[in-house]
Amino acid sequence: MGAAFPRYSHRADASVPAFDDSGHVVVVDGTCGVCSRGARMLARRDTRQEFRIATAGTGLGRALLLHYGLDPDAPDSWLYLREGEALFSLDAVIAVATRLGGAGRLAAALWLLPKGLRDWTYRRIARNRYRIMGRTDLCALPDPALRKRLIG
C-alpha cells in the first residue's frame, strides 16, 4: 500500500471493469459504520457533485482495491482516485475532506503530521471501526443524495 502508481493505471488492468473515472472516485467499506457515515456526509456536502462512491463489496470496488495493492477484506482499504491519482488511508480521507471545503478544510492541518503517524492513526481506527461505530449497510435504502453517487 502507498506505492506510487501512474495516473489512471487501472485503465490498463483488464480485471478492472470500465467506468467513468474522469473525476473523483472513493472506494469504502460498505459495512463499516465509520465509512458509511463518511460516505453519506460526502454525498450531502458534495455540492459540486464531483464524487462517486464504490463499496469494497462491489465488483468495481474490489477490482480497484486489488489493482492498487489493497486487500478488499482488510479494514484499512480506503481508496480515493483524484483525477486518476490514487490516495490511500488517512491521506485519502484528508484529501476528500479538503476538496469538499467548508469545515473539511480543517482536515488539511493533518498533512502536518508525519506520514508514519498518519498511517498508524488510520490503522488504529480502521482496525477498531466496528467497535467504534458498529456495522451498517451503506447500500441498503440509500438516500437520494447517496444513491446517485453509488457506482459499481
The pLDDT of residue 9 is above 90: yes
pLDDT grade for 111, boundaries at 50, 70 and 90: confident
- Domain assignment present for residue 150? The answer is no
Residue 83 falls within a domain, yes or no? yes
Exposed / middle / buried, residue 3 (Cβ in 10 Å: 0-12, 13-18, 19+): exposed
pLDDT digits (tens, 9 = 90+) for 128-148: 766 766 666 655 556 777 778
Give the model's pLDDT for residue 96: 94
Let me know if residue 144 belongs to a domain. no
Please give the pLDDT value at position 129. Answer: 66
Q: Where is 84: in which H helix or E strand?
A: none
Distance, CA of 110 to CA of 3 (rounded, Å): 20
- pLDDT at res. 2: 47
Residue 11 identity (one-letter amino acid): R
Q: Is residue 81 part of a domain?
A: yes
**Domain membership flag for residue 102:** yes
| 131 vs 105, more confident | 105
Overall number of domains in the chain: 1
C-alpha closest to that of 52 among 65, 42, 66, 63 = 42
Q: What is the CATH number of the domain that holds 134?
A: 3.40.30
Q: What is the pLDDT of residues 63-77, one digit of tens each?
A: 999 999 998 887 666
Convert the pLDDT of each residue in 18-60 to its tens digit: 999 988 999 988 777 777 778 888 888 999 999 999 988 899 9
CA 107, distance to chain mean position in Å, is 15
What is the three-class DSSP state of 152? coil
| Residue 3 domain flag | no
- Report the C-alpha dihedral over residues 47, 20, 150, 2, rounded to 10 degrees: -90
pLDDT band at 110 (very low <50, low <70, confident <90, very high): confident
Closest CA to 53 of 133, 126, 152: 152
Q: Which residues contact 101 (CB under 8 A, 6 or more apart)?
A: none
Overall size of the chain counted in residues = 152
pLDDT at 116: 92
Could you give the CA distance from residue 115 to residue 145 in angstroms, rounded to a whole number?
33
